[in-house]
Amino acid sequence: MEKPDWGQSLMVGNKSMDLEHRLQIGLIHALDEAIRAGQDREEVAKILSQLYEYTNAHFLAENLLMRLHAYPDYQAHADEHDRLVGSLESLRRTFDSGETGLTLDSIEALRNWLGVHIQGMDRRLSSYVAENGIPVSRRA
């Protein structure tokens, strides 16, 4: 797997979102590397679990940001987050079944999916927040 490109392609222009994406993609990359390097299952399971927990936390943060700004596309965006969490759960199952090749394929699919999500939905959210900076509760 190529190292994620942090040039411009995955930046959305929101400081905390960019930082969280960087960590999220970094964990996917670490997972891929650990499997390829033949690290023991316990180590891989640990990274997988960190990725799962971190992704959940990141999605909660984005969902909250959308709520705070009464983001019009909330539901579709949150539904996509739910789908990704579902993919992570199936990645966990694939890993538990011991299928290394399939696990690497699933990681690649996940990374691609995340790239599309970040460049599409997350970038639109970031632009919306930048243009409508004040949370609804603080608007006059």
Distance in Å, CB of 81 to Fe ion, minimum: 6
Contacts for 77 with CB less than 8 Å, ≥ 6 apart: 62, 63, 66, 71, 121, 125
Q: What is the rounded CA–CA span in Å between residue 61 and residue 51?
A: 15
Least distance (Å) between residue 92 CB and Fe ion: 20
Token output for 22? 């960087």
Q: CA-CA distances (angstroms) from residue 33 to 9, 90, 119, 123?
A: 22, 19, 24, 28
Using CB under 5 A, list all residues that contact Fe ion: 62, 122
Which lies closer to Fe ion via its Cβ, residue 92 or residue 123?
Answer: 123
Among residues 120 and 135, whose Cβ is nearest to Fe ion?
120
Distance in Å, CB of 21 to Fe ion, minimum: 6
Nearer to Fe ion, 32 or 62 (CB): 62
- Say which amino acid occupies 24: Q
CB of 61 to Fe ion, least distance (A): 8
**Which residue, 1 or 54, is less far from Fe ion as judged by CB?**
54
